[in-house]
């Protein structure tokens, strides 16, 4: 296998393995670490995690594909994940999604041609009380409106590549 963790991430992985009671229990943080390094969990990356944790590939694949927080294909620098679940929908989540699709010129599930933005619809982000919610990479944005979502995209565009 050509893929490997960087020295620093290899150290972090060994430290994770030392701090969890079982290798299975260490799987989620190991996948997070892998996604942090590789950007998404390709088939090869999941095999690498399986090998390092001495778990079956099936166990790693089933966990990685269950959680929407793990990207199974390349995403843009800003991965905007809009909650499509009921609380957010009832409070205008569909309007937030529509505003983002219009501003970005893409549909949910697509990435802008410049590779800067990926737009996805995901299930509950655990911010139902402050719906509608969305997440950009690791940060959650609550009580969104279409206007707020567009302003957020415009602010992100101003960031240096």
The binding site for ligand FES (CB under 6 A) comprises: 83, 85-88, 124-128, 131, 133
Please, are residues 30 and 19 in contact by the beta-carbon 8 Å criterion? no
The residue among 131 and 153 lying less far from ligand FES, judged by its C-beta, is 131
CB of 132 to ligand FES, least distance (A): 6
**Residue 50 phi/psi, 5° resolution?**
-60, -45
Nearest alpha carbon to residue 36 among 152, 137, 160, 154: 137
The residue among 46 and 125 lying less far from ligand FES, judged by its C-beta, is 125
State how far the Cα of 91 lies from the Cα of 140, in Å rounded to an integer. Answer: 17
The residue among 60 and 96 lying less far from ligand FES, judged by its C-beta, is 96
The residue among 52 and 141 lying less far from ligand FES, judged by its C-beta, is 141
CB of 115 to ligand FES, least distance (A): 27
The residue among 85 and 145 lying less far from ligand FES, judged by its C-beta, is 85
State how far the Cα of 22 lies from the Cα of 27, in Å rounded to an integer. Answer: 9
> Would you mind telling me the total number of residues written for the chain in this entry?
161
Please report the DSSP string for 24-80 in residue order: TTTHHHHHHHHHHHHSS--HHHHHHHHHHHT--HHHHHHHHHH-TTS-SS---SEEE
Please, are residues 153 and 105 in contact by the beta-carbon 8 Å criterion? no
């Amino acid at each position: 296998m050509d893929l490997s963790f960087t020295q620093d991430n290899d150290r972090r992985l060994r430290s994770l393995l030392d701090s969890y009671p079982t290798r299975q229990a260490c799987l989620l943080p190991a996948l997070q670490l892998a996604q942090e390094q590789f950007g998404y969990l390709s088939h090869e990356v999941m095999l690498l995690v399986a090998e390092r944790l001495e778990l079956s590939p099936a166990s790693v694949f089933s966990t990685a594909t269950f959680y929407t927080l793990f990207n199974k294909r390349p995403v843009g620098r800003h991965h905007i994940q809009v909650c499509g679940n009921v609380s957010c929908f009832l409070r205008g989540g569909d309007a937030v999604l529509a505003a983002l699709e219009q501003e970005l010129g893409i549909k949910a599930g697509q990435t802008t041609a410049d590779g800067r933005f990926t737009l996805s619809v995901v299930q509950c982000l655990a911010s139902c009380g402050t719906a509608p919610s969305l997440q950009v990479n690791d940060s959650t944005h609550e009580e969104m409106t279409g206007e707020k979502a567009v302003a957020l995209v415009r602010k992100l565009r101003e960031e240096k590549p």
